[in-house]
Amino acid sequence: MNLKSLAGFLSEGASLNSCIYRVPSGDGEHFVVAKAARTPGTAMLKALRKEYSALEELNLRVGNALGVSVPRPLGFVEEQGILLLSGVAGFSLGSTLRRQANFLNGRLHHQSLQQIGLLVGDWLHHFHDATLAEDQPHHHNDYLRELDSNLYRSRQSGLSASALQKIRDGVEATSATLRGTNVPMAAAHGDFLPQNILIGETGAGVVDFGSYWQQAPIYRDLSHLSAYLTLLANRPAYDRGALEALKRGFLTGYCRTLKGDLLRIWEVNATLRIINDRSSVLTARRSRKIERALLALSEVATATSRDL
């Protein structure tokens, strides 16, 4: 198989580095996904190989516990830069949000978006249950190292030094009080964002495991989606109430007691990671909005820890 043989199939999506093709299977009911490097090179081939290995490990680990809600690795044609996976049915949550959570239509879809949130939270709950590992204590110093790295990059993205210092002070104080607190551990998707979440008729599915972690605090994936929805809610193109409804549904659907302060300090780090992944510097107005959201999280986090 090569890129030319894929040319006749529907291109499902694309990024700067890859194209994704949907290839119908012989039975007409299923499909195969071919993820092809645009210009095969060492970095892209390494990324595809990493995703293939991650899916091999995950599927071996969970067996049939997640059904067809995650891809199964079918092959990696390294010389052509093509990764073959079983298809996961559903529509991208990202495209659903653009249609149903925008500032024109969002107020009409609060209930349906909350239901979608329930499906996504339920999927993540099952993913964590299927990969659950032994609890680990909250490592304050490790957390601060990641925080400081993210804060440094965020200064380059346009956030002010004074705001970032206040955010750090508040979050550091809370993290210190949580030192040694037992934290549930499980596998992490690593990039748990709407563009990688698919909504089907009966449940959610998830794709793109290139950032997969074999073991991490459950708060890594939880906070990543939560932070993303908070950032989106601060954009004028979206309806805040619609995104808050989705977020409520997500946390309710996860159906596990969560420590509020742990979720909040992880959400601070997740917010910083997301904005740091942008290719452009933030505008002054956008920077101030993000600073206010982060300050609110860090201020709340200094209160007595509460379970959610």
Average pLDDT, the chain: 91
Predicted confidence at residue 301, as pLDDT, reads 58
Predicted confidence at residue 132, as pLDDT, reads 97
* Domain boundaries along the sequence of the chain: 3-86, 91-301
Q: Residue 130 pLDDT more than 70? A: yes
Q: What confidence category does residue 81 fall into, taking pLDDT thresholds of 50, 70 and 90?
A: confident
Domains 3-86 and 91-301 share a fold: no
- pLDDT tens profile 98-122: 999 999 999 999 999 999 999 999 9
Among 34-48, 192-206, 281-295, where is mean pLDDT lowest? 34-48
Predicted confidence at residue 128, as pLDDT, reads 98
Predicted confidence at residue 306, as pLDDT, reads 53
Q: Residue 1 pLDDT more than 60? A: no
Predicted confidence at residue 159, as pLDDT, reads 95
- pLDDT tens profile 143-187: 999 999 999 999 999 999 999 999 999 999 999 999 999 999 999
Q: Residues of the chain with pLDDT > 90: what percent?
A: 78
Return the CATH class of domain 91-301: alpha beta
Q: What confidence category does residue 51 fall into, taking pLDDT thresholds of 50, 70 and 90?
A: very high
Write down the CATH number for the domain with range 3-86. 3.30.200.20
Higher pLDDT, 274 or 15: 274
Positive or negative CA dihedral for 77, 81, 82, 83? positive
What's the whole-number mean pLDDT along residues 241-252?
98
Burial group, residue 28, by CB count within 10 angstroms (0-12, 13-18, 19+): exposed
Question: What are the two backbone dihedrals, phi and then psi, of residue 146, each rounded to the nearest 5 degrees?
Answer: -65, -40
Q: What confidence category does residue 304 fall into, taking pLDDT thresholds of 50, 70 and 90?
A: very low
Predicted confidence at residue 242, as pLDDT, reads 98
What's the whole-number mean pLDDT along residues 238-245?
98
Radius of gyration of the chain (CA): 20
